């Protein structure tokens, strides 16, 4: 299968899925999400694949979330096969695929890109990686898995800090807060991720499938919150306040959110 926005490669027991839009810091548009869904479905169906590695092209970014420039230009994330922006289905697929998903974070993971790595089963980070949220800075948010599940990973206080202040954290701090499993030199990132995939491939696939489903069962109720949050986000991004965030980002100026807020 040919892709435009991503690369899909089989390396031993691992499917390596690479977001390939380095000119946009690997931000995703609608087409990118469609292709990621296809890639994860291919990996699910392929009996050779025992683990999936998700990473980004280049050295600067793992993924910076939704393409805000695209949203500023067209008011949405561009055309898709279904006519819908399928990011919620991608989130669910990362959780549901019955194989370990390893995030190999090679650079900046912010916004929706931060949510993607959080949803992966484990995260290996380059020493040059940086983590954080940017949604409220550009008129966006993830009130579903991106916040509720994040709180399970790092605790309520830290999750609120990440979202309420939009700071960035280096790889060492991310490891201390339990946001990542391991930090390695940049040149060792993919090698390490593939070694972890090899370790998983030596184990019982059925046992890992049941274990992943068991872990997920504790937080599957958050899918309802995620659906609600996505509906709210659709409305918010079309509001004057949401549009101001995207427009200010595109124009490289400080957004004026307050004048657009309805306090009632």
Which residues make up each annotated binding site for substrate? 77, 108-112, 140, 252
Binding residues: 77, 108-112, 140, 252
Paired with 51 in beta bridges are: 14
Q: How far apart are CA 110 and CA 115, in angstroms?
A: 8
* 97 in Cβ contact with 56 (< 8 Å): no
* 199 in Cβ contact with 51 (< 8 Å): no
What phi, psi does 253 have (nearest 5°)? -130, 165
Cα-based distances in Å from 232 to 56, 189, 197, 212, 262: 28, 37, 37, 29, 15
């Amino acid at each position: 299968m040919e892709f435009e926005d991503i690369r899909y490669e089989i390396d031993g027991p691992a499917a390596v899925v690479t977001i390939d839009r380095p000119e946009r810091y690997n931000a995703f548009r609608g087409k990118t999400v469609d292709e990621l869904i296809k890639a994860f479905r291919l990996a699910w169906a392929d009996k050779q694949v025992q683990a999936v590695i998700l990473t980004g092209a280049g050295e600067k970014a793992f993924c910076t979330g939704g393409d805000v420039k695209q949203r500023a230009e067209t008011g949405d994330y561009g055309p898709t096969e279904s006519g819908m922006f399928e990011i919620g289905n991608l989130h669910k697929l990362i959780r549901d695929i019955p194989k370990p998903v390893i995030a190999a974070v090679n650079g900046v993971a912010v916004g929706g890109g931060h949510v993607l790595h959080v949803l992966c089963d484990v995260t290996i980070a380059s020493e040059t990686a940086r983590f954080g949220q940017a949604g409220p800075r550009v008129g966006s948010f993830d009130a579903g898995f991106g916040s509720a599940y994040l709180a399970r990973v790092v605790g309520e206080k830290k999750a609120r800090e990440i979202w309420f202040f939009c700071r960035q954290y280096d790889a060492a701090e991310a490891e201390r807060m339990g946001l990542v499993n391991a930090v390695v030199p940049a040149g060792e990132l993919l090698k390490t991720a593939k070694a972890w995939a090899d370790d998983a491939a030596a184990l019982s696939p059925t046992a890992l499938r049941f274990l992943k489903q068991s872990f997920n069962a504790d937080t599957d109720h958050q899918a309802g919150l995620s659906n609600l949050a996505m509906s709210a986000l659709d409305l918010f991004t079309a509001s004057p306040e949401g549009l101001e965030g995207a427009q200010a980002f595109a124009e490289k100026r400080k957004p004026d959110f307050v004048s657009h807020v309805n306090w009632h």
